[in-house]
Structure 1
Amino acid sequence: MNFRYDALYPSRRSPVLAENVAATSHPLATQAALAMMSRGGNAVDAAIAAAATLTVVEPTGNGLGSDAYCILWDGKELHGLNASGASPEAWTPEQFRGQTEMPYRGWGSVTVPGAVSAWAELTRRFGKLDLPTVLAPAIHYAESGFTVSPVIGALWQRGAEVLSDQPGFADMFMPGGQVPKAGERFHSAEMARSLQRIAETGGRDFYEGALAEKIAADARANGAALTLADLAAHKPEWCGTIATDYRDVTLHEIPPNGQGIAALMALGILEHLDLADLHADDPVALHLQIEAIKLAFADLHTFVADVRYMTEVTPQDLINPAYLKERAKLVSRDRAQNYGPGAPRTGGTVYLTTADASGMMVSFIQSNYSGFGSGVVVPGTGISLQNRGAGFTLQPGHPNEVGPRKRPFQTIIPGFLMQGDTPKMSFGVMGGPMQAQGHVQMVMRTQVWKQDVQTAIDAPRWRFIEGKKVACESALAKATRAELVEMGHEISVETPDSAFGFGGAQLIERFETGGYAAGSDSRKDGQAGGF
């Protein structure tokens, strides 16, 4: 099929208003979520159905070998789940001596995948439907096939150019030696069988059964450290959330090893900078947000790691209001500054959010990290493995230094806003170091400047890179860019081909009178839907 899609003109979607809603980065995943709620399931069932479907239809950002995090409001209280996996027990610092950085691709970058454990644990504790029912849409698309969408087709081609020589990649993702193009169909009977096995065993087979044995066997065959014991030792952790107040709302994030704390630090700094009289796209408003993010990132890459190893500086130290007030004093209203370390590489991730008529709201994210992750696919399973091990550092003594059975620093973060004791907004912005920055931009636009969820998503974005370097979308007004340059920012305008660096957002905001508004990012293939 000769299918061509060119986004020649700006697109403004309308927010979707309904009592049961879902917003994901792929329409088939959104429809899977709505199907669960329409047959009596709740927002958790919907979220897991969407997450599983995304491993099939958006393999460029996630897979069965992903990690995951979740924040959910069950109708009475907020819960936080960390389902990111740890490093193999054999990963001591000595094993990587002589290397200048952690491996970024291949088996040497693979840590224990946690996404399947998140599906099982969330379904067990909060779901209304069983896992075979919830995973049925994903199994169907894996077995019968689906039509590749435009954005994913382009990312698929890009990934194949650098990963085709990784173990199992070409067999899985390049059928007949070709990358599926937008408009062409793709299926994987092997992935369908793995999903079926996960559904039948409540996820146990992935960590203790036949699937686990295949993963461990392939690791041995390729000289990798991951073992069956490493997989069996994995357990998702109900970790709660950490939070920062901003005006009359409270932003909740998962505690480290993720970067969500950077969004909390930035908001805590912005609380002490006067933005109230500025409009959303005022150059000074953008400047102050950029400076707050720069300060937050300087601390993020110095102190943040697996929380068990943050002995010098704790998460509560970093979000202490008195400390953030002092940090805010460093910001000049008219001059860009260099506060220190830069951001990590951009990556591939899927974020989704769901909400139901009972009041349950779910903020869920899963990722293979870089596009297609490690590039490794376990033979006969369709399991593509993440490369989260690349998140470690080799710097001796750093809290994020590689070590055995240790969680690496993670970029993926789900966000959740509360207003007092009431849920306000479940949201996320996928895309490597863009995520914490995107959280700040979404909170500011929806809460300070009262933009609806879709308008906030559609607005042009910026991304701090390092030093005084800031990338902007071309939609940001030239006059605004010129004023930022005048302040000392080194502005670059990224081309549409690199626009994934500005992430993909999904937002659901709750109305005080009941019901929700949902928005989905036009930068992705996604969809917001409801009934």
Structure 2
Amino acid sequence: MHLRHDSIYSSRRSPVLADNLVSTSHPLAAQAGLAILAKGGNAVDAAIAAAATLTVVEPTGNGLGSDGFCILWDGKELHGLDGSGAAPAGWTPDRFAGHKTMPFRGWESVTVPGAISTWVTLAERFGTLDLPTLLAPAIGYAENGFIVSPVIGALWERGAELLSDQPGFAETFMPNGRAPRAGERFRCPDMARSLSMIAETAGRAFYEGPLAEKIAAHARAHGAVLSEADLAAHRPEWCGTISTGFDESTLHEIPPNGQGIAALMALGMLEHTAIREIGPDDPMALHLQIEAIKLAFADLHAYVADRKYMAPTTTEDLLNPAYLKARAAHISPDKAQEHGPGAPRDGGTVYLTAADSSGMMVSFIQSNYSGFGSGVVVPGTGISLQNRGAGFTLTPGHPNEVGPGKKPFHTIIPGFLMKNGQPKMSFGVMGGPMQAQGHVQMVLRTQLWDQDVQTAVDAPRWRFVDGQHVACEETLPPSVRDKLSGLGHTISVETPDSAFGFGGAQLIERLDNGGYAAGSDPRKDGQAVGF
């Protein structure tokens, strides 16, 4: 990794170099994790403290009703944890008859929230400090208030315009009848009480106790079917990881129901292209990545679902090296194309990462999916609920068709990179469909093109949308955009706050001397901190 002093992109940030690091999308969350490390906690403890704090200080992207996933290196071994929740038992396809697509907001988009169980499961297996200690920073900010930051303030205002009529939203997130603005203080004593109950009961209050009862009662009051039994049945799963190699590096992702497999497929295809002969900002480098992502997304949307329902097409089929080589052959260096799914068988967030001096590295993501999620907030609790049910399809027979007790397709994915069998980088790029594409961009920039983690984060990004449509950041030079257009891509320039945007990346890379380098995305309010 080449550590630059001169900045070649828009940010003037340098990577943060230390033996203990936390990088998140909000400074207060990063510092909460750092404080836990300073108390003698490990990287898992720090990640939980940061994740809990983010539910308070960045409610636009996550909350107590989020889902979560984690990949961690414990110093000897890599682990993957799937904390996502399932559809209520009452969600049969017939329930959504008459709908063309799954509801995107409201109670009919809410599946069982898994983030709290993810914290508890991580703490019980790998943590060293108790849950009340880890959640204390979050409880303090909820009880005493925090000052709203600029990016969050803008997202909050947009969310309030869309969701003010959703049950419980305005009374929690619109004090004085509007969203709090950047620079104003926001308090949520209800959330402080919920967090305290979660800490004192090791999460049981959320899934079996008084909070579960309030969630289910609010669902019934609005004609929804999420029940106490659905919440009590939830269990996180130690699912391991799936992986694909590129030269000496191996990218690891959580297995389906998430989109991480698309990053692996794209990387596996790029192995068979001329990308190694091209510089990071050459239009041809972008073209090859875009085409690989298109091919991967075609398969993603055709085959990927809750892994128990993916047969006959399996994860192994989609990652088969021979299949990926065959898919790569469809990439033309001369023109953009539209790609359908292949035949692999013959016949939507907050992200954080933490690392400590013992060698433990944590890649953690949790999300309400689309800005404040469903918009539903359980009265008196501060619990905002995700809208992950929108990830299902209503197409009969599709592996991702909605069904009782089934997990929906997920966009949120933590990433982890190994190199020559050793941990190399814990990272993520939040932002809906940007995530798998962002993973590919970060891996290539840091590993193939030797950019340091902050430079890779600062670089202009692109996002495949659909068909020939590719969205680019305005910082991508016009000459590059023109050459991509000449290859047949339909290029649009988006501002950072439009649609899903271009994500928010946080990266920690292990150095050869045993320390770490961290980068934090200037597109967010966050920071990397360490000692």
Q: TM-score, normalised by structure 2?
A: 0.97
Q: Distance in 2 between matches of 1:495 and 1:267?
A: 27
Q: Distance in 1 between matches of 2:101 and 2:22?
A: 39
Structure 1 residues 297-316: Cα deviation after superposition (integer angstroms, max 9, x where no partner): 00000000000000120001
Q: Distance in 1 between matches of 2:80 and 2:512?
A: 23
Quick one: percent identity of the two aligned structures?
Answer: 75
The answer on whether the counterparts of 1:340 and 1:467 sit within 8 Å (CA) in structure 2 is no
Q: Distance in 1 between matches of 2:257 and 2:225?
A: 22
Q: Distance in 1 between matches of 2:308 and 2:212?
A: 27
1:49 aligns with 2:49: yes
- Structure 2 matches for 1:325-474, cutoff 5 A? 325-340=325-340, 347=348, 349-474=349-474
The answer on whether the counterparts of 2:63 and 2:385 sit within 8 Å (CA) in structure 1 is yes
The answer on whether the counterparts of 1:290 and 1:464 sit within 8 Å (CA) in structure 2 is yes
- Structure 2 matches for 1:301-340, cutoff 5 A? 301-340=301-340
Q: Distance in 2 between matches of 1:293 and 1:418?
A: 22
Q: Distance in 2 between matches of 1:357 and 1:369?
A: 33
Structure 1 residues 385-443: Cα deviation after superposition (integer angstroms, max 9, x where no partner): 00000000000000000000000000000000001321000000000000000000000
- Structure 2 matches for 1:241-256, cutoff 5 A? 241-256=241-256
Q: Distance in 2 between matches of 1:496 and 1:105?
A: 24
Residue 12 of structure 1 deviates from its aligned partner by 2.2
Q: Distance in 2 between matches of 1:257 and 1:148?
A: 34
- Structure 2 matches for 1:39-438, cutoff 5 A? 39-340=39-340, 347=348, 349-438=349-438
Q: Distance in 1 between matches of 2:25 and 2:461?
A: 18
Structure 1 residues 310-353: Cα deviation after superposition (integer angstroms, max 9, x where no partner): 01200010011000000000000121000138xxxxx3x00000
SS for the counterpart of 1:519 is strand
Q: Distance in 2 between matches of 1:481 and 1:296?
A: 23
SS for the counterpart of 1:413 is coil
Q: Distance in 2 between matches of 1:97 and 1:222?
A: 19
Q: Distance in 2 between matches of 1:96 and 1:369?
A: 20
User: Structure 1: which amino acid aligns with 2:118?
Assistant: A
The answer on whether the counterparts of 2:495 and 2:501 sit within 8 Å (CA) in structure 1 is no
Report the counterpart of residue 517 of structure 2 in structure 1: 517
User: Structure 2: which amino acid aligns with 1:229?
Assistant: A
Q: Distance in 1 between matches of 2:423 and 2:491?
A: 37
What's the RMSD between the two structures over aligned residues? 0.9
User: Structure 2: which amino acid aligns with 1:359?
Assistant: G
Cα gap change, 1:264/1:496 in structure 2, threshold over 3 Å: closer, same or farther?
A: closer
Ranges of 4+ aligned residues in structure 1 off by more than 3 Å: none
Q: Distance in 1 between matches of 2:511 and 2:284?
A: 31
SS for the counterpart of 2:367 is strand
Q: Distance in 1 between matches of 2:334 and 2:317?
A: 29
Q: Distance in 1 between matches of 2:355 and 2:496?
A: 32
Residue 275 of structure 1 deviates from its aligned partner by 1.3
Residue 10 of structure 1 deviates from its aligned partner by 3.9
Q: Distance in 1 between matches of 2:135 and 2:265?
A: 37
User: Structure 2: which amino acid aligns with 1:138?
Assistant: A
Report the counterpart of residue 3 of structure 2 in structure 1: none
Q: Distance in 1 between matches of 2:171 and 2:401?
A: 34
SS for the counterpart of 1:501 is coil
The answer on whether the counterparts of 2:47 and 2:362 sit within 8 Å (CA) in structure 1 is yes
Q: Distance in 1 between matches of 2:500 and 2:17?
A: 27
User: Structure 1: which amino acid aligns with 2:406?
Assistant: K
The answer on whether the counterparts of 2:79 and 2:238 sit within 8 Å (CA) in structure 1 is yes
Q: Distance in 1 between matches of 2:499 and 2:370?
A: 15
Report the counterpart of residue 476 of structure 1 in structure 2: 476
SS for the counterpart of 2:98 is coil
Structure 1 residues 39-88: Cα deviation after superposition (integer angstroms, max 9, x where no partner): 00000000000000000000000000000000000000000000000000
Q: TM-score, normalised by structure 1?
A: 0.97
SS for the counterpart of 1:369 is coil
Q: Distance in 2 between matches of 1:96 and 1:18?
A: 52
The answer on whether the counterparts of 1:33 and 1:49 sit within 8 Å (CA) in structure 2 is yes
Report the counterpart of residue 344 of structure 2 in structure 1: none
Structure 1 residues 209-230: Cα deviation after superposition (integer angstroms, max 9, x where no partner): 0000000000011110100000
SS for the counterpart of 2:104 is coil
Q: Distance in 1 between matches of 2:512 and 2:252?
A: 19
The answer on whether the counterparts of 1:500 and 1:523 sit within 8 Å (CA) in structure 2 is no
Report the counterpart of residue 530 of structure 2 in structure 1: 530
The answer on whether the counterparts of 1:473 and 1:499 sit within 8 Å (CA) in structure 2 is no
The answer on whether the counterparts of 1:284 and 1:334 sit within 8 Å (CA) in structure 2 is no
Q: Distance in 2 between matches of 1:302 and 1:135?
A: 40
User: Structure 2: which amino acid aligns with 1:250?
Assistant: T
Q: Distance in 1 between matches of 2:123 and 2:495?
A: 41
Q: Distance in 2 between matches of 1:122 and 1:245?
A: 27
Q: Distance in 2 between matches of 1:314 and 1:264?
A: 14
Structure 1 residues 462-514: Cα deviation after superposition (integer angstroms, max 9, x where no partner): 00000110000010011010000000000000124317510000000001221
Residue 454 of structure 1 deviates from its aligned partner by 0.2
